[in-house]
Amino acid sequence: MPTTNSTSFALAASLFTLTLTTYIYKTHRRTSNLTSIRTSNANDISHIPPCSTESTEERSAPVAVFLGGTAGVGRGMAEAYAKHTNGNAHIILIGRNATNAQAIIDSFPKPTAPGAKHEFIYCDATLMAECKRTIDDLLQRLTTINYLVLSPMFVRSFHKEETSEGKEPKLVLLYYARFKFTRELMPLMQKAKEAGEDAKVYIVGGPGLGKRIDYDDLGFSKKGYSFWKVRRQFPAYLDVILQEFAAQNPLITFIHAYSGPVRSALADNLEWPLFRIFFKVFFELSFPFSHTASGEHMLHAMLTMAKHPGVWSIDMFGETMPEQKIVVATERERKMLWEHSIGETVAPESSTS
Ligand SMILES: NC(=O)c1ccc[n+]([C@@H]2O[C@H](COP(=O)([O-])OP(=O)(O)OC[C@H]3O[C@@H](n4cnc5c(N)ncnc54)[C@H](OP(=O)(O)O)[C@@H]3O)[C@@H](O)[C@H]2O)c1
């Protein structure tokens, strides 16, 4: 009997290894498409209608905002965008790491077009007060936003934590901050659209990876928090809320993209050293995409695949996903999630004055 068990185990282990190796091999092979994606991005960017130049100097360069642009997928997208525009865009990186941001900005081609510039804004997006301050600053200084890319994430542990505002920081970064930035910056995106320019919101998450939302316990405040609940439900929060955004803003393009396995900074802050080392090694050895490769694929989806307004679900190669993989909510469910999200993203009183 023990021999049968060990044989089954060996067989299962071999099959698992074979499947994993095949998957990684295939994925690696497909990453070799990078050169053609890069060429296509360079070409596509030159065909996007130039932004309006008739009003202020500020509006002559496209405006791209990257919350989470100081590392990982967001950084890859910002770098690819800067390269293909020859630096001739107003690029705003938002995050907390000013040193990383400066190094990234220094690597961008230097802007020569009117209104083109590159800047960093500090924002700890786990705090609604900080999100509000940053959004207010953007609303005051910008006349339009063409691309709003949202990819902030920070994982210290898998258990429940609490910010000084009493919120779970992973939930805020994965969903609530992204909701707040999208909703409150929408007037600037509408203005871009009215001027005949591109207006696209790009969320890096996991389209189709969420299975079912428990509408009786939005935000996990009643029935309790667990990492697996978050993993099972939160990607669907993004799918569903973008359906509501699209219903309210029929001229704007909303994209929810899965980056696939990217060798990013995601495991760098895990509080348990052994986990940190394990994940870092695992990422390095088995994750096929560098942040640069992922950035090009994701940029391709933003510039080229998402051709018209509505909601787009995008896979790791920047291609559209089959519709049946995505949770489609009823109008009532969308409204419930909308009301919940508005309630959860109000900044504390002291920061509203
Ligand atoms: N990497 C993957 O394999 C993978 C796979 C599937 C899905 N995803 C998803 O893709 C998204 C991006 O992941 P990534 O791999 O690019 O992560 P990453 O390399 O760790 O980058 C995360 C970004 O979020 C920013 N950030 C972290 N905490 C922040 C805070 N409190 N306020 C503002 N910004 C903050 C970081 O900037 P600062 O440090 O400057 O604050 C950084 O720019 C995540 O939602 C992740 O779940 C990733």
pLDDT tens digit sequence for 181-204? 999 999 999 999 999 999 999 999
- pLDDT over 90, % of the chain: 73
Q: Is residue 13 situated within a structural domain?
A: no
Determine the residue of 73, 75, 122, 239 to mutate for testing ligand 1's pocket, defined as the one with the most ligand atoms within 8 A of the Cβ atom.
Answer: 73
SS3 290: coil
pLDDT given for residue 66 in this prediction: 98
Domain hosting 329: range is 53-351
Q: Is residue 31 situated within a structural domain?
A: no
Q: Is residue 5 situated within a structural domain?
A: no
Cα–ligand 1 centroid distance for 258 (angstroms): 13
Confidence at 58, pLDDT banded by 50, 70, 90: very low
Q: Is residue 133 situated within a structural domain?
A: yes
Q: Is 92 in the pocket of ligand 1 (CB under 6 A)?
A: no
Q: Is residue 165 situated within a structural domain?
A: yes
Cα–ligand 1 centroid distance for 345 (angstroms): 20
Encode pLDDT of 14-56 as tens digits: 656 656 665 665 565 555 578 889 999 998 887 776 554 444 4
Q: Is residue 37 situated within a structural domain?
A: no
Cα–ligand 1 centroid distance for 129 (angstroms): 20
Q: Is 134 in the pocket of ligand 1 (CB under 6 A)?
A: no
Buried b (16+ CB within 10 A) or exposed e, 260-279: bbbbbbbbeebeeeeeeeeb
Confidence at 169, pLDDT banded by 50, 70, 90: very high
Token couple for 134: 């940053």
Encode pLDDT of 97-121 as tens digits: 999 999 999 999 999 999 999 999 9
Average per-residue pLDDT for the chain? 90
Q: Is residue 35 situated within a structural domain?
A: no
Domain count along the chain: 1
pLDDT given for residue 25 in this prediction: 57
CATH number of the CATH domain containing 247: 3.40.50.720
Sheet with 253-258, side-by-side order of all strands = 117-122, 90-95, 63-67, 147-150, 200-205, 253-258, 310-314
Say if residues 227 and 158 touch (Cβ distance below 8 Å).
yes
Q: Is residue 170 situated within a structural domain?
A: yes
